[in-house]
Amino acid sequence: MSEAEIFEVLRAHIWAAAMMAMPILVVTLFVGLAIGLLQALTSVQEITLTFIPKAAAVVVVFFLSLGYMTRICLDLFNDTVLPIIAR
């Protein structure tokens, strides 16, 4: 296995990790933005007000996007790892 092939496999794995994290990160960003706006408008600075909704949103989005994440992992395995093993 050449150095270029190793870098290509690493690039594919990093891209897959970024794509799997994207739904959770986007939802966390929007929930945090909404809660921050709500806190700025009401002047309520409670730390649990930011943590609990973000945690709940992450759990919900994780379970909703589990099939998507599994498909990315399986595609990555079938497209990059299995051909390497077969050689």
pLDDT of residue 61: 96
Residue position matching structure tokens 């379970």: 63
Q: What is the DSSP string of the chain?
A: --HHHHHHHHHHHHHHHHHHHHHHHHHHHHHHHHHHHHHHHHT---HHHHHHHHHHHHHHHHHHTHHHHHHHHHHHIIIIIHHHHH-
pLDDT tens track of the chain, all 87 residues?
789 889 999 999 999 999 999 999 999 999 999 998 998 898 888 877 888 999 999 999 999 999 999 999 999 999 988 988 888
Contacts of 69 (CB under 8 A, 6+ apart): 20
What is the number of other CB atoms lying within 10 angstroms of the CB of residue 2?
7
Handedness of CA 58, 60, 64, 70 (dihedral sign): positive
Indicate the residue type of 76.
L
